[in-house]
Amino acid sequence: MQPNRHCWLIAGFLFIALLSACKKKDQAGPQRPQANINDSIFSVFKDIYLWTDVIPDSATFKPESYPSVKNMFSSLITIKKNNTNGQPLDKYSFIDDGTTSRALQGGILGDMGFEVGYQTNTSLYVVYVYPGSPADKAGIKRGWQLTSVNGTTSFQVGQATDDILNAAFASKSATWIFRRPDNNSQTIVLAPASYKLNPTLYANTYDFNGTKVGYVVFNNFVALNDVKPTFDSLFNAWSQASVTRVVMDLRYNGGGLLETAEYLANNLAPASANNAVMYTQLFNNNVNTNNYSYIFRNMKAVPYNPNTYWTEIFRQESTTYKTTSFRKQGSLALTNLSFLVTHGTVSASELLYNVLKPTMNPHLIGTTTYGKPVGFINITFGQYDMYAVCFQTFNSAGEGAYFDGIAPTINVTDDYTTNWGNLNDPLLRTALTDMGIPASQLGRMAATELNTGRIGVLHPNNRFQGMIQTPRN
Residues 155, 450, 212, 347, CA torsion sign:
negative
In order, the DSSP letters of 335-383 are SEEEEEE-TT--THHHHHHHHHHHHH--EEEES------EEE--EEETT
Contact 194, 112 (CB under 8 A): no
276 vs 301 pLDDT, higher one:
276
pLDDT one-digit tens code per residue, 281-335: 999 999 999 999 999 999 988 767 888 999 999 999 999 999 999 999 999 999 9
The whole-angstrom separation of Cα 38 and Cα 34 is 6
Q: What is the pTM of this model?
A: 0.88
Give the pLDDT score at 26. Answer: 31
pLDDT classification of 84: cutoffs 50, 70, 90: confident
- The domain segmentation of the chain, as residue ranges, is 11-104, 108-196, 200-299+306-374+391-447
pLDDT surpassing 70 at residue 447: no
% the chain with pLDDT above 90: 78
pLDDT surpassing 80 at residue 422: yes
Across the range 42-69, mean pLDDT stands at 97
Least confident among 34-48, 364-378, 385-399:
34-48
CATH superfamily for 108-196 is: PDZ domain (2.30.42.10)
pLDDT surpassing 70 at residue 105: no
Give the pLDDT score at 106. Answer: 64
Strand ranges of the sheet holding 200-208, from the earlier edge strand across to the other edge: 200-208, 211-218, 245-249, 336-341, 363-366, 410-411
pLDDT surpassing 80 at residue 19: no
Across the range 140-149, mean pLDDT stands at 98
Mean pLDDT of the chain: 88
Give the pLDDT score at 100. Answer: 77
Strand (E) or helix (H) holding 46: helix 32-48
Across the range 221-247, mean pLDDT stands at 96
Across the range 193-213, mean pLDDT stands at 96
Give the pLDDT score at 98. Answer: 75
% the chain with pLDDT above 70: 85
pLDDT surpassing 70 at residue 15: no
If one counts every other C-beta atom within 10 angstroms of the C-beta of residue 441, the result is 13
pLDDT surpassing 50 at residue 13: no
Spell out the CATH class of 200-299+306-374+391-447.
alpha beta
pLDDT surpassing 60 at residue 448: no
Give the pLDDT score at 4. Answer: 33
Across the range 26-48, mean pLDDT stands at 72
Contact 336, 245 (CB under 8 A): yes
pLDDT one-digit tens code per residue, 107-118: 788 899 999 999
pLDDT classification of 68: cutoffs 50, 70, 90: very high
